[in-house]
Amino acid sequence: MNTQADSVRATVKRIIDSIKPLKEGFTALGDDDPLFGNASDRPSPVELDSLDALDLTMCLGDEFGLDNDEFERLIDSDEGLKSLRTVNDITELILSLSRSGSEGTSIAAPISERKEVKA
């Protein structure tokens, strides 16, 4: 069964692959693989850098319709960047922002999967 988290996770992987393509494709990126080379003792399959992090946050904001202020704090602090360490970290962040959204809107649905509501 494809859950909301699975959908977000797959979209995050596609975005990462568009920024720094993997030879094996985005499916080769594990959910808990480090995204940055210096983020852990484990090697990163993508080795994102600070410019890639900026691209990533902008793409995530665009794809999930997130407020720019929410993502600016991520790139402006070490604490915020911890939310971008793995695909699972990013997925949890997006889902938590979705839960804190107002009026029951679903932030976590990728724009490509949202259905247009007619008035």
Q: What would the pLDDT profile of 92-111 be if each residue is shown by its tens digit?
A: 888 887 776 544 444 555 65
Q: pLDDT (tens digit, 9 = 90+) per residue, 74-88?
A: 666 666 666 788 999
Examine residue 113 and state whether it is found in any structural domain, yes or no. Answer: no
Residue 20: is it exposed, middle or buried by C-beta count within 10 angstroms (0-12/13-18/19+)? Answer: middle
At 116 the pLDDT is 47
> What pTM value is reported for the model?
0.76
Examine residue 44 and state whether it is found in any structural domain, yes or no. Answer: yes
Examine residue 115 and state whether it is found in any structural domain, yes or no. Answer: no
Examine residue 68 and state whether it is found in any structural domain, yes or no. Answer: yes
- Given pLDDT bands bounded at 50, 70 and 90, which one contains residue 119? very low
Q: pLDDT (tens digit, 9 = 90+) per residue, 18-74?
A: 999 988 888 889 999 999 876 567 788 888 988 898 898 889 888 988 776 766 666
CATH number of the domain to which 95 belongs:
1.10.1200
Examine residue 107 and state whether it is found in any structural domain, yes or no. Answer: no
Examine residue 61 and state whether it is found in any structural domain, yes or no. Answer: yes
Sign of CA pseudo-dihedral 56, 77, 33, 8 = negative
Mean pLDDT of 6-27: 91
Range of the domain at 33: 4-100
Examine residue 96 and state whether it is found in any structural domain, yes or no. Answer: yes
Examine residue 15 and state whether it is found in any structural domain, yes or no. Answer: yes
- The number of folded domains in the chain is 1
At 117 the pLDDT is 41
CA proximity to 55, closest of 71, 78, 33 = 71
